[in-house]
A = this chain, B = another copy of it.
Amino acid sequence: MTVSCTWIAVDWGTTHLRAWAMSASGSILAEASSADGMGTLDRAGFGPALDRLCADWDTVPVIACGMVGSRQGWAEAPYATVPCAPLTGPFATVSSDRFTVQIIPGLKQPTPADVMRGEETQIAGFLAQNPNWDGVICLPGTHTKWVHISADEVVSFQTCMTGDLFAAISGHTVLRHSCAEGWDDAGFAQGLDDALSRPERLAARLFSLRAESLLHDLQQPQARARLSGLLIGAELAATKPYWLGQQVAVIGAGGLAHLYVTALATQGVSATQVNAERTTLAGLTAAYHLWKDTL
């Protein structure tokens, strides 16, 4: 059965491909996803992957965000330079057998050097839902972004690869024997406090997780949560100029975003938590209207 729709919203990252069939009024008519992320495709594979996923949907305009627009993606959408609005033209245009796709450019900051791809669309979605909002947006993930917003523009941003570090340290160092699985809130709180109160001591804290498991029978859930607290604490110490005394919104509904909200609360920052998928869709919708209005 064919899905009749006006346009298709696509979030295409390194490990996933998600699509929504949208009505003219912004309702979701159908959705689909696959594991055809950028990391698994060569350049010729993107078009067929999209055509497969949306085989039963109308042939309508497609708006896509994420790593699909990187140099290793389907077509490079060169970065816009901050300070700028999160959505700027021109989009990169590319075609599959069935669809013409507009790819949203990421953002770059020359100094300190930084880049984002995909988060700019969530930022645009958040600002569409919260007009005239000034403050700092935190987007937790493998590479967490801290983004300073003023007058509907991205003024500056900072990436911390905390999720990437956590996976590498808990999976590929001696701590893999001590931090393999489980969770413990008190362990997280302790790691967070250790790192925030003495951030310069971080390098000396990590091996103690191993030593305490050998000497004092520290359990894996406690050790794993403390490692997470140490790394998020180190991130908060490094990004203090972003969040201190600011209005903060954390985009993400899951457990990781909740950890950031909890961590910020210990520092007296009451952050708002926002659903990530709705925010992404709001951003893709804003991009669709921007593209349509400039036709």
Nearest Cβ in chain B — how far from A142, in angstroms?
8
Q: Does A235 belong to the interface (CB within 8 Å)?
A: yes
Given contacts A108-B215, A168-B169, A211-B159, contact A238 B200 (CB under 8 A): yes
Q: Which residues from B are CB-within-8-Å of A168?
A: 168-169, 172-173
Whether A203 lies near B173 (C-beta < 8 A) is: no
Q: How many A residues, CB 8 Å from partner?
A: 48
A159 to B109, CA, bound (A): 37
Whether B171 lies near A211 (C-beta < 8 A) is: no
A160 to B210, CA, bound (A): 11
Q: Does A56 belong to the interface (CB within 8 Å)?
A: no
Whether B235 lies near A114 (C-beta < 8 A) is: no
Q: Does A206 belong to the interface (CB within 8 Å)?
A: yes
Whether B173 lies near A207 (C-beta < 8 A) is: no
Binding site for B on A (CB under 8 A): 79, 108-110, 112-115, 142-143, 158-162, 164-165, 167-169, 171-175, 199-208, 210-212, 214-216, 231, 234-235, 237-240
Beyond A114-B211, A159-B207, A205-B238, 16 additional contacts (C-beta under 8 Å) are A79-B215, A108-B215, A110-B215, A112-B204, A113-B212, A115-B210, A115-B211, A160-B203, A160-B204, A164-B174, A168-B172, A168-B173, A171-B172, A200-B200, A203-B235, A203-B239
